[in-house]
DNA sequence: ACCATACGTTCAATATACCGAACGCGCAAG
DNA sequence: CTTGCGCGTTCGGTATATTGAACGTATGGT
């Protein structure tokens, strides 16, 4: 990940987001940067840069901070906190082939994801396995399809709901009809 | 985070867990380490060490891997829990008037409800306020409607997503068209 | 006013995460 | 068997994440 041209340059978007997240959590707790650095066993310099969004922290550094703040590590990576007001997201214009579109991800520790899948007729699409403990819900908005974990496929029609453990490979397959489905993925909160 | 005594030594527990996660996800996809490294823009050496649990990867490295695997970054940090069985629920037969149907409610660590609403044309339906901190998501399966909190209504069409704080009174109203929507209600665990 | 303490930032130095290259291995084609 | 290719691992070298110290600022005590 070598970024040429800049030494000690601003890190990627993720780094900036994480920095903001850390600063926010720290201030919520009324903790000074110096104190957080002390508790986490880091130097003030590291924390300062990190909060500024500069640089590219390691996992251990983040883990130490999460521990010192008493929050799960994944909370530091939450990009889309749901404190926000009303939020609308329009879908992409229709295209050929299957589309898999992440509509939204919310919750401390990424507990909820909303996806929209459009599967043309006679198409098979495999679902990516998620973290263990994840539950996947599938609401058929229109059309019909066969879906589920590889060893337990079910026939679904418009309006049906399928729920299954999302940590195994699974499958969406259409027949004559296309399908338009909403997928809700709920992951356990872990640290 | 200086670990004395060992150069290039094994990283912390977190690093090992992440390494295992990465390897698992990669193999689930039938992808070789070399190919993943290529797609993520990393060297084979980095990935090899990372999967072995050795070392201490940076956020950018992990981000690149998550991207190449098409999974959210936080999935790489998840720990084990257990899974649930497959569960199908068929919807009721179509009826006149608006229907508000609870598809599923789960309550492990958070409360998650899935509703299906069918709103005929020229109908107004008010949503009940939920607990503070609750987020309501509304995915339009078909048709069109106006929805949202009383003071911030939005026009929505097929495929749109609306997200808003569910602890205020809100409203669903159709015009000429009927609407068929999936509602996801997520209540946070209060801590 | 003066000093002391704590804060957050910036610097040179050091430890280390990453890279490219070389290695040994297994497999398939010639 | 020999050659070639791709795999996953192990080696220096180099870029850089982290550090400790020095800095300017703000606040409180004497």
Question: Using one digit for the tens of pLDDT, what is the confidence trace for A99-116?
Answer: 777 777 776 555 778 888
pLDDT at A11 over 60: no
SS3 of A59, please? helix
Task: Say if CB A36 and CB A30 are below 8 A apart.
Answer: no
Which pLDDT band, with edges at 50, 70 and 90, does B190 fall under?
very low
CB contact under 8 A, B59 and A58: yes
Which pLDDT band, with edges at 50, 70 and 90, does B4 fall under?
very low
Q: Report helix angle B59-69 to B13-28, nearest 10.
A: 20
Distance CA A62, CA A60 (A): 5
How far A33 CA lies from chain B's nearest CA (Å)? Answer: 17
Task: Say if CB A162 and CB A147 are below 8 A apart.
Answer: yes
Through-space separation of residue A43 CA and nucleotide D22 C1' in angstroms = 14
Which residues of chain A make contact with B87, given a CB cutoff of 8 A?
162-164
End-to-end CA distance of chain B: 30
Region of poorest pLDDT, from A32-46, A177-191, B36-50: A177-191
| Domains contained in chain A, CATH given | 13-77 (1.10.260.40), 99-186 (2.60.120.10)
Q: Could you tell me which chain A residue has the CA closest to the CA of B41?
A: A1
Region of poorest pLDDT, from A45-49, B19-23, B114-118: B114-118
Region of poorest pLDDT, from A130-134, A176-180, B5-9: B5-9
What confidence tens digit (pLDDT) does each residue in A153-163 have? 888 888 788 88
Res A126: pLDDT = 85
Range list of β-strands (E), A107-175: 112-119, 124-127, 135-149, 154-157, 161-165, 170-173
CB contact under 8 A, A56 and B59: yes
How far A77 CA lies from chain B's nearest CA (Å)? Answer: 7
Res B94: pLDDT = 46
How much of chain B is helix, strand and coil, in % rounded to 5? 25, 35, 40
CB contact under 8 A, A189 and B139: no
Which pLDDT band, with edges at 50, 70 and 90, does A96 fall under?
low
- Angstrom distances, CA of residue B85 to CA of A60, A81, A165, B68, B184: 35, 30, 6, 30, 21
Res B97: pLDDT = 64
Nucleotide lying nearest to A15, CA to C1' measure: D17
Through-space separation of residue A45 CA and nucleotide D13 C1' in angstroms = 27
**How many CA atoms within 13 Å lie on the side-chain side of A33?**
15
pLDDT at A93 over 80: no
Res B13: pLDDT = 73
Through-space separation of residue B149 CA and nucleotide D24 C1' in angstroms = 49
- Angstrom distances, CA of residue A157 to CA of A132, A138, A161, A178, B183: 27, 11, 9, 11, 18
pLDDT at A85 over 70: no
Averaged pLDDT, B15-32: 90
Task: Say if CB A88 and CB A76 are below 8 A apart.
Answer: no
């Amino acid at each position: 990940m070598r970024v040429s041209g800049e030494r000690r340059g601003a890190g990627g978007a993720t780094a900036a987001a994480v920095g903001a997240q850390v600063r926010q959590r720290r201030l919520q707790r009324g903790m000074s940067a110096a104190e957080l650095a002390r508790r986490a066993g880091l130097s003030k310099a590291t924390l300062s840069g990190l909060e500024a969004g500069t640089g590219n922290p390691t996992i251990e550094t983040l883990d130490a901070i999460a521990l010192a703040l008493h929050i799960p590590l994944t909370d530091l990576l939450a990009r889309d906190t749901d404190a926000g007001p009303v939020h609308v997201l329009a879908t992409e214009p229709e295209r050929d082939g299957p589309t898999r579109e992440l509509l939204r991800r919310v919750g401390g520790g990424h507990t909820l994801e909303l996806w929209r899948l459009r599967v043309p007729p006679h198409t098979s699409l495999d679902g990516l396995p998620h973290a263990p403990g994840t539950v996947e819900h599938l609401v058929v908005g229109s059309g019909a399809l066969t879906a589920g974990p590889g060893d337990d496929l079910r026939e679904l029609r418009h309006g049906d709901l399928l729920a299954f453990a999302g940590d195994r490979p699974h499958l969406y397959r259409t027949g004559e009809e296309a399908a338009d489905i909403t997928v809700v993925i709920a992951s356990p909160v872990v640290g």
